[in-house]
Amino acid sequence: MLTIPSPVDALLNRALAGEDLTEAEGVALLLQTDAGAIAAIRETADRLRQQQSGETVTYVINRNINFTNICEQHCSFCAFRRDEDEAGAYWLDEGAILEKAADAVQRNATEICMQGGLHVKAKVDDRALPYYVRLVQSIKQAYPHLHLHAFSPQEVQFIAREDDLSYAEVIAALQEAGVGSMPGTAAEVLDDAVRRVICPEKIDSQTWLDIVQTAHRLGMPTTSTMMSGHIETPAQQMRHLGLLRSLQQDSLSQGYSGISEFILLPFVGQEAPKPLRRRVGRDQPILADALLLMAVARIFLGNSIPNHQPSWVKLGLEGATESLTWGCNDIGGTLMEEHITTMAGAIGGTCMEVETLRSAIESLGRPAQQRDTLYGEILNGEILSEVEV
């Protein structure tokens, strides 16, 4: 066992023995300020990463398509959304979307990640679902091999509300059209006191959980995220992680699809609306805080969600690479075109080349491996192994 400074030694040794920690114990780890204790947390997270996910660091070749930034909501952290008549507003037509998909295919992408603003005019015959179905079908008909990772729980709720449908009806229709998995975005922090400040128009925590679990029940895997480093407390961070862990354990125990990965999304406020930016008091994430939270997330979630990913867009490639020694086993995707975080003032850029990602991974002496969306191994464009989620 490790020689660990008190008072975290017992907690970390229990985690190394395979036990799940409580939310309160996670808070105790997040509140550590002693350099030796923090180093021990990092070492524990790294050892658990090795046990749960191995030495190989994965990445996916993918492209983001944010089909519109016109949105009915006004989240206090968002610099991406626009009103329809506002400068910079856009709404991509089918031809532009297919051009982006074609470019992705030419660059060996295996995934399209598609999300957009909640645009009340995005309809066909006054219904929202046919519009979203058509977006999916246009890509899948042209490029059937692409995995579509598309439409967050918030978008599902929007479609259901607009068309008076159940969440299950919306998800099933999107699945039939060709959506392969659901992004676990719009979670922000799963605490309604926080949500009332940063995104009061968004779905509440329970609705997010209900939609994700409905997707799992219907055989659609999801990812999971947390936006950190704004007004939330360590207790609220751990409550968020606790809800994710419970959801995952419940889904898997019933034989449903589950959560394929956890992604930490540190708050970038440089171009965010002024009230929240002033309240937070800084424009860029604090790397040390993000690294500690990623380590605790690995310790807390790793038995249930073994794949953990940083955001190179938010932390920069150097910060994302460092996170690979704090519990993360995946460095994310090439993205090819990133708007939402970049418009908030992120420093990481909008696109990453495969060679750059591989070099960053290999700088740590770790092997790099291309994967598909669901963590199947890819070699020379062929999926070598499927991973059930």
Question: Residues near 381 by Cβ (< 8 Å), separated by ≥ 6?
Answer: 108
- The answer on whether 311 is annotated among ligand-binding residues is yes
3-class SS of residue 97: helix
CA atoms within 13 A on the CB side of 158: 23
Count of beta carbons in the 10 Å neighbourhood of residue 341: 22
Q: Tell me, what amino acid is at 328?
A: C
- The answer on whether 113 is annotated among ligand-binding residues is no
Report residue 77 CA to chain centroid gap: 16
CA 175/CA 172 separation, integer angstroms? 5
- The answer on whether 300 is annotated among ligand-binding residues is no
- The answer on whether 246 is annotated among ligand-binding residues is no
Count of beta carbons in the 10 Å neighbourhood of residue 102: 13
Report residue 264 CA to chain centroid gap: 7
The dihedral formed by the CA atoms of 98, 99, 105 and 106, expressed in degrees to the nearest 10? 160
φ and ψ at residue 45, rounded to 5 degrees: -60, -40
Phi-psi category of 310—alpha, beta or left, where left has phi over 0 and alpha has psi -120 to 50? beta
Q: Which residue do the tokens 């190989």 mark?
A: 56
- The answer on whether 71 is annotated among ligand-binding residues is yes
Q: For the sheet containing 308-309, what is the strand order?
A: 222-228, 259-266, 308-309
Count of beta carbons in the 10 Å neighbourhood of residue 18: 11
Structure tokens at 151: 């439409």
If you ran DSSP here, which 8-state letter would residue 342 be given? G
CA 257/CA 289 separation, integer angstroms? 31
- Binding-site members for [4Fe-4S] cluster are 71, 75, 78
Task: Cite the annotated binding site for S-adenosyl-L-methionine by residue number.
Answer: 77, 188
Binding site feature residues: 71, 75, 77-78, 152, 188, 311
Binding residues for (3R)-3-methyl-D-ornithine: 152, 311
